[in-house]
């Protein structure tokens, strides 16, 4: 894995150039990159208003470079009424004043590149904000107007059109249709403030091609494609399961993973390939692995988030199955596998793993007692082991801000503080995702713990003082120290990153042991069982070759439960 310093100015070479093809053949930088998700609103507040922003992030870039990640993915910072944390975009080419200015963004890209960090931004093509100029024009222009054709407007069913056009259900709860005063309904797979765009309309594709170029021209290295599986809808098909979908991809639906989306990504790939240095894109598509692989075929996107670990219970055979299935699915199309334990849509894994169950997007489970009452120490121990597993696997790893501090989910946010539309739209039945979005603790003994000079948009728990970056820097055994060391080793040990995986453990073993061949090779062992275990399986001699462990081994060299270790051989 190498970090190159690259020019911030893209060099257009007009279409699918031979150099772009050659790059693809050599393998993209993203094949083994460690990409750190910055939830901008909660990372660092540069102007003291309680909300994180771009200049706050600039002031903390050194922290990220020192931690040892390769790239940052920034959640949306565009002009937005913030009905869904910025995933409701009112202007795709403007920075919201909450987050700063376009100049701040340019500063950020330049400062990140100076430190060898690449910048990936979020693109939200499935829907915009109801405050977007197009939607406002559509509302004003009335039924049957060309302005409405850029969205999905329909008359209702029933005698007076009082029923929604079909039974599609919003991912955030409630019907996926909202009726305007003039009687027409419009589709929104998420909140009513997020009208879905009609991707069969030529204006939509043309607009997004231009938006992509706007940001690529500003030097971004990659795009994270929001709801990549949602852009094309099949109307007129039978309604999905009764009650609609309750998560992003739990049911086969006429509005997710339709074949037509792939044409869009082929077009986007040819735009990305116009640029040098290389630009990449990662799909957010909640679909089964075999379908996910279709998004990363050679002429489509470079990566797709692999969310399988989010749903995998803490059991060695199940983890192994997930790993094998993931590697197999992506190898089939020659794409790298990605690995994800947490993001801004799911329960932080330091809490989720304590309960041992899989999580789901939308914060499902965050109000479930078993998870809420889960043992913090156990969750952290497993999360530390999971970090070493994640970073030892072949492919690219996504980290979510704060996981390097071992932050738990915040379960007890007061209802009035909660801002996720999931909470309101389900009448509080689902807690939503605010609990994983609480601003980071950087230093000091009182909130906002160095997050900024004012308050923080979500309250931070009192016990976060000891989890702050500064507090953890003091402790050699802290979770921050573990991540930092593991990330350095991942760079230094050539066997890690892209490449092959060979199992040493049996498929039903409670301890996962695999090797990443190389000189030296690296063996990763993770004990997901309940008893300390010997890692030596005859062929592996561990003495003196332990390079890192998530928690200490026993005095006689056994791997305790919920501990992972790397050895060189």
What residues make contact with ligand NOJ under the rule CB under 6 A? Answer: 84, 87, 124, 190, 226-227, 284, 344-345
Catalytic-labelled residue, pool 88, 274, 284, 515: 274
Task: Closer to ligand NOJ by CB, 123 or 511: give it.
Answer: 123
Neighbours of 99 (CB within 10 A): 27
- Report, in Å, the least distance between residue 226 CB and ligand NOJ: 5
Q: CA end-to-end span of the chain, whole Å?
A: 20
Task: Closer to ligand NOJ by CB, 37 or 221: give it.
Answer: 37
Dihedral sign of CA atoms 288, 290, 294, 296 in order:
positive
- The number of residues making up the chain comes to 569
Q: How far apart are CA 220 and CA 435, in angstroms?
A: 29
Please give the helix or strand (H or E) that residue 87 lies within, else none.
Answer: none
Task: Closer to ligand NOJ by CB, 60 or 127: give it.
Answer: 127
- Report, in Å, the least distance between residue 421 CB and ligand NOJ: 8
The token pair at 553 is: 């081994």
- Report, in Å, the least distance between residue 194 CB and ligand NOJ: 7
What per-residue string of b and e applies to 422-431 under the rule 16 or more CB within 10 Å gives b? bbbbbeeebb
- Report, in Å, the least distance between residue 474 CB and ligand NOJ: 34
- Report, in Å, the least distance between residue 254 CB and ligand NOJ: 18
- Report, in Å, the least distance between residue 552 CB and ligand NOJ: 37
Task: Closer to ligand NOJ by CB, 124 or 261: give it.
Answer: 124
Task: Closer to ligand NOJ by CB, 295 or 566: give it.
Answer: 295
Q: What's the 3-state SS for 370-438? A: HHHCCCHHHHHHHHHHHHHHHHHCCCEEEEECCHHHCCCCCCCCCHHHCCCHHHHHCCCCCCCCHHHCC
Task: Closer to ligand NOJ by CB, 88 or 273: give it.
Answer: 88
- Report, in Å, the least distance between residue 88 CB and ligand NOJ: 8
Give the residue carrying structure tokens 């990409």. Answer: 35
Catalytic-labelled residue, pool 226, 257, 420, 434: 226
DSSP 41: G
Q: How far apart are CA 98 and CA 51, in angstroms?
A: 7
Q: Is 274 labeled as catalytic in the residue annotation?
A: yes
Measure Cα distances from 426 to 163, 211, 240, 484 in Å.
20, 33, 20, 39
- Report, in Å, the least distance between residue 87 CB and ligand NOJ: 3
The token pair at 370 is: 């078993």
Please give the helix or strand (H or E) that residue 566 lies within, else none.
Answer: strand 564-568
Q: Is 37 labeled as catalytic in the residue annotation?
A: no
Task: Closer to ligand NOJ by CB, 82 or 469: give it.
Answer: 82
Instruction: Answer yes or no: are the C-beta atoms of 49 and 454 closer than 8 Å.
Output: yes
- Name the residue number minimizing CB distance to ligand NOJ: 87
What per-residue string of b and e applies to 292-327 under the rule 16 or more CB within 10 Å gives b? bbbbbbeebbbbbbbbbbbebebebbebbebbebbb
Instruction: Answer yes or no: are the C-beta atoms of 274 and 15 closer than 8 Å.
Output: yes
Tell me the catalytic residues. 226, 274
């Amino acid at each position: 894995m190498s970090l190159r310093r690259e020019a911030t100015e893209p060099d257009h070479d007009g279409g699918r150039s031979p150099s772009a093809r050659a790059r693809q053949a050599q393998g993209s930088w993203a094949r083994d990159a460690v990409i750190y998700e910055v939830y901008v609103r909660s990372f660092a507040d540069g102007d003291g208003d309680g909300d994180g922003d771009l200049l706050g992030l600039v002031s903390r870039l050194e922290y990220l470079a020192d931690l040892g990640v390769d790239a940052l993915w920034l959640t949306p910072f565009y002009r937005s009424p913030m009905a869904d944390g910025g995933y409701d975009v009112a202007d795709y080419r403007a920075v919201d004043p909450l987050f700063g200015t376009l100049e701040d963004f340019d500063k950020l890209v330049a400062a990140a590149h100076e430190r060898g960090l690449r910048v990936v931004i979020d693109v939200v093509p499935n829907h915009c904000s109801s405050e977007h100029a197009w939607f406002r024009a559509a509302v004003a222009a009335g039924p049957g107007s060309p302005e409405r054709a850029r969205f999905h407007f329909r008359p209702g069913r029933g005698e007076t059109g009082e029923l929604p056009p079909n039974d599609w259900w919003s991912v955030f709860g409630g019907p996926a249709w909202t009726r305007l005063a003039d009687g027409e309904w419009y589709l929104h797979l998420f909140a009513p403030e997020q009208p879905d765009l009609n991707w069969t309309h030529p204006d939509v594709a043309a607009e997004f091609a231009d938006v992509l170029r706007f940001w690529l021209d500003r030097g971004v290295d990659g795009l994270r494609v929001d709801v990549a599986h949602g852009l094309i809808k099949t109307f007129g098909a039978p309604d999905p399961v009764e009650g609609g979908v309750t998560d992003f991809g739990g049911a086969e639906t006429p509005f997710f993973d339709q074949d037509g989306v792939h044409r869009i990504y082929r077009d986007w790939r040819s735009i990305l390939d116009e640029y040098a240095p290389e630009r990449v894109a990662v799909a957010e598509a909640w679909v089964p692995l075999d379908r996910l692989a279709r998004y990363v075929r050679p002429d489509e996107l470079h990566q797709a988030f692999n969310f399988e670990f989010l749903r995998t219970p803490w059991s060695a055979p199940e983890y192994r199955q997930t790993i094998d299935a993931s590697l197999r699915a992506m190898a089939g199309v020659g794409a790298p596998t990605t690995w994800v334990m947490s993001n801004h849509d799911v329960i932080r894994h330091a809490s989720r793993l304590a309960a041992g169950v899989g999580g789901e997007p939308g914060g499902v489970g965050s109000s479930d007692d078993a998870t809420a009452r889960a043992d913090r120490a156990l969750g952290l121990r497993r999360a530390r082991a999971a970090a070493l597993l994640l970073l030892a696997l072949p492919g690219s790893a996504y980290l979510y801000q704060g996981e390097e501090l071992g932050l738990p989910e915040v379960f007890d946010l007061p209802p009035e503080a909660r801002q996720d539309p999931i909470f309101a739209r389900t009448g509080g039945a689902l807690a939503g995702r605010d609990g994983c979005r609480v601003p980071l603790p950087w230093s000091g003994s009182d909130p906002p713990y160095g997050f900024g000079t004012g308050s923080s948009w979500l309250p931070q728990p009192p016990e976060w003082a000891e989890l702050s970056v500064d507090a953890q820097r003091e402790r050699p055994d802290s979770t921050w120290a573990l991540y930092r060391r593991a990330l350095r080793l991942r760079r230094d040990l050539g066997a890690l990153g892209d490449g092959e995986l060979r199992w040493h453990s049996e498929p039903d073993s409670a301890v996962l042991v695999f090797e990443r061949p190389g000189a030296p090779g690296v063996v990763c062992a993770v004990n997901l069982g309940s008893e300390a275990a010997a890692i030596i399986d005859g062929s592996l001699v561990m003495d003196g070759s332990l390079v890192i462990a998530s928690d200490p081994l026993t005095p006689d060299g056994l791997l305790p439960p919920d501990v992972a270790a790397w050895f060189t051989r």
